[in-house]
Each structure stands twice: as structure tokens, then as C-alpha cells.
Chain A
Amino acid sequence: MSVMRVRKIQGQTGTWRVIRPVVDKSKCIKCGTCQTFCPDSSIHVTPEGAEVDYTFCKGCGICANECPVKCIKMEREV
């Protein structure tokens, strides 16, 4: 069976950011809301709390806006 190799080129869209989400893991209740709503698959719930993949996160702020306990703050990139 011939295999079709398809390269999927991932752009480093983290460079688009002007603000970045910062998670206060001590307040995170690991509900998964941020993970569900991230357009860029860039925030995931781990046993320690939500973690952001800054390689790809574009800083849209949806995670911070939707977090039920408001444990995510948007901070300036520079």
C-alpha cells in the first residue's frame, strides 16, 4: 500500500503576539474551558494546571475572557 507523505507546515505564530496569557496555576481549577475555546490549540490542561504553548499562541485573549475563575491575565509581550 503506497504511503502518501504530507508535510504540514506549522508557522511560528507566537511571533504575532502583542499580549500573552499568563496562567495563575494556583487558582486554575483545570476545567478545560480555555482548552476547548482556544482557536490555536495552544493551551492545554495538565495535572499542574493550564499551560500555554507560546510557540503558537497568538494572544487573542479568549482563554482569559472565558476562564470561569479568571485565573488568566493578559500581559504585554514587551
Chain B
Amino acid sequence: MAEEVRLPGHGLCPGCGGAIAERIIFNTVGKNVILFGGGVCASGGTRLLQVPNYGLHLSGIGLGAVGITRALKVRGRTDIKVISMAGDGAASDIGLAKLSGAAERNENFIQFVMDNEAYMNTGIQRSSQTPWGAWTTTTPMGKKVGQKKNLPMIVALHGVPYVATASIAYPADFVAKIKKALDIEGYRYIHVFCPCPTGWRHDTSKSVEIARLAVLSGMFNLYEVEGGKVRITFKPKEHVPVGDYTKLQGRFGQLKPEDIAAMQSYVDVQWKNMLEIDGKYVY
């Protein structure tokens, strides 16, 4: 049994999707890394990752990683990998300018965004990654304005070497993407879908199942953009209805049949668009 980089005994919720993602990431990248940032609900649990770690606060997305990678460069220690982790609210809202700046300058580190689709650590407030219709404490009637912001594509359009989406339910795909990213120089971005039983109001045992249904229904698509070229890395033979995904989650409990139908149309259009750009260059 290989030694785990992340020790058990942390304070993350039972069934936390982010906890699963963290394990997959750190068991792949190993120990010759410096971690910047906290990852999912970072301050909510004891940080038991056995890697050197530097942290700032919510809006400082990627900043410490920029400083660390520049310092390592000037000191001649480019063997050490630099990993940056951020939540979705941090990356997509308050820290977007920072994330964009690092991407635009092609700073040399891997930025992971742990997407649990809201500001979960502070008690389930909506972010621009919250899907349409979802309940959060700041959208108690369900998010009515805007769809989930397409952050991975926004980052890809900065012209960075590598962008990928990943899911805890598809660990082999996730690991392959991390390994590919580790071998590329420059700014790499991996957007990880992490179900949150506490915020999404689902059974703790269903986190992986829900992550799987998100991909199988088209709510979250697995693809990469390498050197500008899009490649869908997993194509479900047949998509399951969006309703199969939403019915397991209390946060979608207020949706009426016409809302689900609207979501289905939206998802269908997104998948059609994905198929059209599959194999094409976006920059």
C-alpha cells in the first residue's frame, strides 16, 4: 500500500467530493511539490497534506504560486513542481483577475479549481459556477440569473498550453490529465467537478454517483484543450436525462418540470457545441 500524501483525520465533510479529488491529485503529483492555496473548504478542515504549503486568502488565486515559481526559477530549483488550488468562487469571481493575469503571462504552475459550485466553506453561497436553478443560501428560490460560467474555456482562450476538465467519478481520466499537465511547461489549468453533499443536499454516499451522472447527462463535460486544440476525452454512448441527475440533489428540489425541460435544452445545446468544436483549434 503506497503511502498517502494526504493523511486521514481531516475535518472535511463525510462524502466530500473535494477530499476525493485532493487524494487523486496528490497521490499523482507526489511529494516533490510546493502547494499554494487551500483547495476545497481549505480552512474548514485540518490540512493534512504532507507537502510544503503556502497560503493567502480567498481572492489571492494563484498569486503565491506565481511568487513561488519565480523564486524557484531565480534560485535554480525548477525540479520542484508548483501546484495551486482554489475553490470555484475564488477562481471564478473574486480572484478571476488574478487567475487571468497568471494565465496571460503563462506563469509556470498547475492551477486546480475545485468546483463544488458555490462558496461552500462559508456556508453555501452562490458563485458564478452555481448552475441555473440551484438553491443556495443567497439564491433561496434557485439561481435565476445566468448559467454556470464557462471558466475552463475562458482560461483556454488566454492561449495557455493546457486546460482540462476532470471529475472524481472518472479517476483514470483525471490521473491521465494530471500526468500530462506535469510534463508541460507554462500555465496549466484543471477544473475538477467535486460534488458537495452538504451544499447540494444529497446523500453522503452518492457523491461519486452524482459526479458520474453529471458527466453522463451532459451537465459537466470532460475535455481538454491542449495547445488550443479541443478534445472531448469521454463521450457517453447515450446521455441520460438531466432529471436523473437533479432528482438526487435537494438543491434542485424546487425545479418544476418546465425548469428541468429548460435545463435539458440548455445541456443539449452545450453538448452540440462541444461536438462541433471537438478536434478544432479555439486559438
Contacts and interface: CB of A to CB of B under 8 A. Distances in A.
B48 interface: yes
Interface in B11-65: 11-12, 14-17, 19-20, 23-24, 46-48, 50, 52
A44 B19 contact: no
A44 B100 CA distance: 40
Contacts of B208: 37, 62, 65-66
Given A65-B208, A66-B209, A39 B1 contact: no
Contacts of B11: 11, 13
A16 B14 contact: yes
B9 interface: yes
Contacts, number: 88
A40 B205 contact: no
A10 B7 contact: yes
Prevailing SS type, chain B contact patch: loop
30 contacts: A8-B7, A10-B7, A10-B8, A10-B9, A10-B46, A10-B48, A11-B11, A13-B8, A13-B9, A13-B10, A13-B11, A37-B208, A39-B12, A40-B9, A41-B6, A42-B8, A46-B1, A53-B8, A59-B14, A60-B197, A60-B205, A61-B15, A61-B204, A61-B205, A62-B20, A62-B204, A65-B205, A65-B208, A65-B209, A66-B208
